[in-house]
Structure 1
Amino acid sequence: MTTSADHLIDDALHRSDVEWLSDHLDARSCPPAVLGRLVRHADPRLRHLGLLLLSGRLTSTPPVADERETAELASWLPHFVVDPPEAALLQANLHAHLGPHLRGRPRPSWRTADLPVRVRIAWLRAELLDDPTVLRHEVRGELLYQAVRATSITTAHRPERLVAELVGSGDRVLRAEALRLAREGLHAGLLTPARVREHVLALLDTVARGVGVHGSGTTDPGASDPGSPDPTSPDPPSSGGSCTAVVVAALRELGEPWAMLDPLPEGRLSVFLTSDPEAAPVEVAEAALTAAARHGHRDVVWRVAGDPGGSPALRRRALELLGDLADRGDIRELTALAARGPAAARRPRGGLPAQAPPARPLPGRRGRTGHRRSGAGRPCDHAGRGRHDPLHLPAGDPPGADRRRRRSEPVEAARPAGRAGRAGGAGASRRGGDHAGVRDGRRTRTVPHRDP
């Protein structure tokens, strides 16, 4: 049954009135049949409007289209790359969203079309989200790196397969992205901890050869396939790090709480612990040592801490980790190990300097005691009020000790001596007894004597 609104829409489509259609059509309320007519229209402007409304309908929250309607909308997408580039970008994003409903249909030939770089990245990303095996034949380059970097694990239709293909790609940039996507999949609940653990261990097995042999982040032989760049070339600007950075990130991920539920065997981590910095960089060894400690391999940590030929920084890190692994019975051995360790492991944790610099008095000013400095050479009576650093005071009596000693001399002379004077002498008073305890500028408490 047709209504007056349908006649108005038909008339607008017949005369290609884009302005009227954009004012009266909404993505959520537009009939699916009208969307199909817009997407398949011969006028590029109406096709662009149809793709825009279709994109808004599929990405609306809450969703409007069910599975059946979504499959119907996917069947209306053109088989060719549309114009202008803005419409082609919408078309690529729709293919990324509707990938499972487009399987079995020929993809638009976007590689042979004259498209901007941003649109080409979007088309390649759409292919990767639906079919990760495209990585096996895609040329390694900035276009592929940007497409993978723009990929999220939550938008991938085959997340586990995508991570596996990136791990086995033989490219250091793609391996780093594989670790990122595996971590995202774990936190989003799309990948189980067991599967992420397998992917991270496979990543270590494939990357560790390049680190262990060269130690400089070169690509392993697996990266020398026809679609890969020269293995001897330096890291591209967009790589974000070398193989060493990937190994360090993977080892740190294995040290997270989720990976410690099932401890790794000792041999999977000890291969990265060597005293030769050329075989394994120090940052790799430190990450492996931390992971070994968190997986409960205290023997490995003890061995690294007691290695006389090991790196001082690595041995110091081992001693720090033993603080969490050692028990009360290991205190003596741990103290002896720290005492005979390298100088870097026995660095002071604080305390007084070996030789304090001479005190530097401040210019004359009026202090809280009312005394005015006569010059820069006159010390203040009180160290705290003179703003001296207590650690930089000269050796000897504290400032003001002589003055307090001179005040206490008359009291000492007038004080009755002996037990009898303390017991009942008229000159003895409680105040005099208190002053009797003044010695060298220090005030002590005098306990009154009691006769039996």
Structure 2
Amino acid sequence: MTEPTDPHVTAAVDRGDVDWLAAHVDGTACPPALLARLARHGDPSLRLLAVQWLGARLIGGDVDEDLLRLLGTDETPEVALATATLFQRHGRLPPSAWPRWREHGPVAVVRVAWLRAELLHLPGRLPAEPPGEPLLQAVAGLACADASDPPRLLDELTGRDDPVLHGAALRLCREGLRAAVLAPAAARRILGRLLDSGTPAVVAGALTELAEPWAAVDPVAPHRLRALLAPAPTGPGVSPAGVAGTADVASAAVAAAARHGLREPLLDAGADVRVPPRVRQRALEALGELLDREHIPAVVGLGATDPLLLGPAAVACLTTMHHRGLIVAAADAAGVVSLALADHAIPAGDVAALLYTARHATRAALLAGPAACSVPGSSAGADDGSGADWARRLDLLVALARQGAPDLDIGGDVAALLPRAAEPEPFLAAIRALRHAPAEDAVLAALPRAPAAALHALEAVGGDRTVAVLADGLAQDLPFLRPWRHQALELCWLLQPDPARRHALLLRLDPAALPDRIAADLGRPDERELAVLRARATPDRPLQALIWLAGHAAAVDDVTELLSRIVAELALAYDTRGNPPDEQHRLPADLAAVDPDRDRPAATKRMPVVPQEALAALQGLGRRLYRDGRIRPVCLLDAADHAADHAADPDGAAGGLSGPYDAAGRFAGRPDAAQLDAGERVSR
């Protein structure tokens, strides 16, 4: 301990050397006599040092009440402010230590600091303080962690009818929870009191906090949330004050009700036309986590009351229920289809996935369209909007087919409707999307009515018959083909597999006016040279053969056969990995060399995938085919339909070449199938 009579200390005090004192004197062990001398010194900087050392002594429990009262009423604002800040941090002091600061009329900043310290540590001070700017400024600087009794402080803040104080109570409640100075039960009680506030922002904030996971242990009373979700009362003699029915409060109440599992208030809000529209949507969406199977018809019916407003929310609700294993029954499929037909913004893929288990009822509902399927010129198909309705129905049918339903013939259904369609364009687009090759004759029959759309569809389903019909039409110079002559020539060229006939067609064309896609496809490799390449490939090394043939622009059928062999080899080796060594399938040498799990125990081997070397070769082949404008295999049309994406990522153009295969070993995949594992491909 430093002796107060130390000549060096005395000299430093006499000359006001704050730096020397701070460096050579331990404030926590400073003698009371030295503190008293500093506190009464005429130099404000020494009095500030005394405040700092008093704070250090307070940490150890040593309180000098006389000095605290003296410094608290110091005439220098900086000293008085430092003392008030000291009381804020160390507020657990006896009442006798608090100075009578109001009697000395401190400046505004000191007055606010002292008031803040009293609010933090003196019970009953807040209710007695008159409203005004000092109180609001003091409350704005409160921190829940500084309060001696946080629940008491929050009770006092919520006990006054003041929106600013209610907002401060909400802020401090959140701070106290996250700082672990306020128990969840006390916080829930405070938030419940704030629900009675007359300020929408405060009520919405309290509801938002009650929607947090910590609050779900003790659910909010349903009648409280139902009252906040209810529309605001209107009419003569009704005061507009209050928060019920406001959009922010109702939205927050929806989130809180969903968190606490209160479905009845949400059902009431979704069905009440007086509730704000966006709140009704959110209430219906939130019900997806709460409803049971028997509520599915009610959700569909609620969406049907206003399909444009509630249709997307109803589908979102049903999708969430679907993920929970609550499947839409066939009896409700037509209702969901009606929602999707009424609001085209609902994604067709979402509807198809939702109704896959009721696909037969969905197909029947979609095919039972308006009287738009009629011969052109008849009155049966003249109803307004029929074309748009069928376009939407066809989008949904295509999405349903893409779910992979083996027991549906959507392509055949669309082809059967095409001859009677008043507007064939959407039907032709659907046939192209479905790649339904048996519809070739139906598409050719629609060629005079919609030549552009028919030619576009024939890119996907055309064959020898298409080549013959187009060649004959071009030779006869049919009027409906004249505007589309170049497109028809391109299709004849791209669909013609016979080199001799392609050469004969080329001789009839003007080299200076070749269609672009024909010019891009010129220079195909000679079939005799390809035969040499096939013979050079080693049968017992399928990976090397695939890389070689793909790199030399071999026919896609050859590459497809090799890819099927690689997939089968990988799948068979994986399926027999647990057998005795003499019964395990041995991979060809080139596949075994690139197997990343070749040294792992059989029980820990992962599902095999097509080697990256094979994928790289397929991607290179796909880029060349795409660049040459090829449309066979049909998967290349997917790259053409997404040309903007493939312009930035040309590797994607070949992704479809590594997809699943049908029973004949022919490619039947989609562009993203390259990432499927070998076992899944074989299973398909």
Same topology, TM > 0.5:
yes
How big is each residue's C-alpha offset from its partner over 1:69-96, in whole Å with a ceiling of 9 and x where there is no partner?
2x2x455313451132111111111222
Question: Structure 1 counterpart of 2:171, which letter?
Answer: R
Correspondent of 2:289 among 321, 324, 344: 324
- Paired position in structure 2 for 1:368: none
- Paired position in structure 1 for 2:50: 50
Q: TM-score, normalised by structure 1?
A: 0.66
Tell whether 2:267 aligns with 1:307.
Answer: no
Q: Is the 8 A contact 1:40 1:77 kept in 2?
A: no
Tell whether 2:125 aligns with 1:134.
Answer: yes
Change (3 A) 1:184 1:20: closer
Question: Structure 2 counterpart of 1:66, which letter?
Answer: G
Change (3 A) 1:333 1:29: same
Tell whether 2:165 aligns with 1:200.
Answer: no
Shift of 1:147: 0.8
Q: 3-state DSSP class of the match of 1:191?
A: coil
Change (3 A) 1:2 1:196: closer
**Residue range with higher mean Cα deviation, 333-342 or 172-181:** 333-342
What is the aligned-residue identity percentage?
39
Q: 2:10 & 2:158 partners in 1: Cα distance?
A: 52
- Paired position in structure 2 for 1:124: 115
Q: Is the 8 A contact 1:44 1:83 kept in 2?
A: no
- Paired position in structure 1 for 2:443: none
- Paired position in structure 2 for 1:247: 203
Shift of 1:249: 0.5
Correspondent of 1:265 among 203, 206, 221: 221
What is the 5 A alignment of 1:35-184?
35-41=35-41, 43-55=43-55, 57=56, 65-67=59-61, 69=62, 71=63, 73-79=64-70, 81-105=73-97, 107-110=99-102, 112-115=104-107, 117-184=108-175
Question: Structure 2 counterpart of 1:315, which letter?
Answer: R
Q: 3-state DSSP class of the match of 2:229?
A: coil
Q: 2:121 & 2:289 partners in 1: Cα distance?
A: 46
**Residue range with higher mean Cα deviation, 312-321 or 10-19:** 10-19
Q: 2:663 & 2:185 partners in 1: Cα distance?
A: 73
Q: Is the 8 A contact 2:4 2:34 kept in 1?
A: no
Q: 1:296 & 1:135 partners in 2: Cα distance?
A: 38
Q: Is the 8 A contact 1:99 1:126 kept in 2?
A: yes
Tell whether 2:455 aligns with 1:397.
Answer: yes
Aligned residues: 346
How big is each residue's C-alpha offset from its partner over 1:226-283, in whole Å with a ceiling of 9 and x where there is no partner?
xxxxxxxxxxxxxxxxx11011001111111111101122112111122347652122
Q: 2:298 & 2:304 partners in 1: Cα distance?
A: 10
Change (3 A) 1:103 1:3: closer
Q: 1:273 & 1:283 partners in 2: Cα distance?
A: 10
Q: 3-state DSSP class of the match of 1:272?
A: helix
Change (3 A) 1:19 1:310: closer
Q: Is the 8 A contact 2:2 2:25 kept in 1?
A: no
Structure 1 residue runs without a partner (length 5+): 59-63, 211-242, 357-393, 416-428, 435-439
Change (3 A) 1:329 1:99: same
Question: Structure 1 counterpart of 2:455, which letter?
Answer: D
Q: 1:107 & 1:22 partners in 2: Cα distance?
A: 26
How big is each residue's C-alpha offset from its partner over 1:414-433, in whole Å with a ceiling of 9 and x where there is no partner?
79xxxxxxxxxxxxx9x99x
Q: Is the 8 A contact 1:405 1:441 kept in 2?
A: no
Change (3 A) 1:310 1:174: closer
Shift of 1:26: 4.4
Q: Is the 8 A contact 1:293 1:321 kept in 2?
A: yes
Q: Is the 8 A contact 2:269 2:275 kept in 1?
A: yes
Q: Is the 8 A contact 1:167 1:174 kept in 2?
A: yes
- Paired position in structure 1 for 2:245: 280
Q: 3-state DSSP class of the match of 2:309?
A: coil
Change (3 A) 1:339 1:413: farther
How big is each residue's C-alpha offset from its partner over 1:1-22, in whole Å with a ceiling of 9 and x where there is no partner?
9869723223444565556535
Tell whether 2:176 aligns with 1:256.
Answer: no
Question: Structure 1 counterpart of 2:128, which letter?
Answer: H
Pick 1 or 2: higher relative contact order, CA cutoff 8 A, min separation 6. Answer: 1
How big is each residue's C-alpha offset from its partner over 1:365-414, in whole Å with a ceiling of 9 and x where there is no partner?
xxxxxxxxxxxxxxxxxxxxxxxxxxxxx845339852343224684997
Structure 2 residue runs without a partner (length 5+): 235-243, 312-342, 350-387, 392-451, 460-485, 503-530, 532-553, 558-629, 635-661, 666-684
Q: 2:4 & 2:285 partners in 1: Cα distance?
A: 80
Q: 1:251 & 1:3 partners in 2: Cα distance?
A: 60
Shift of 1:120: 2.1
Question: Structure 2 counterpart of 1:149, which letter?
Answer: A
Q: 2:211 & 2:116 partners in 1: Cα distance?
A: 31
Q: 1:177 & 1:343 partners in 2: Cα distance?
A: 41
Change (3 A) 1:74 1:188: farther
Q: Is the 8 A contact 1:247 1:284 kept in 2?
A: yes
Change (3 A) 1:403 1:284: same
Q: 3-state DSSP class of the match of 1:77?
A: helix
- Paired position in structure 2 for 1:382: none
Q: 2:142 & 2:13 partners in 1: Cα distance?
A: 37
Q: 1:53 & 1:47 partners in 2: Cα distance?
A: 10
Q: Is the 8 A contact 1:81 1:113 kept in 2?
A: no
Shift of 1:196: 1.2
Q: 2:21 & 2:5 partners in 1: Cα distance?
A: 11
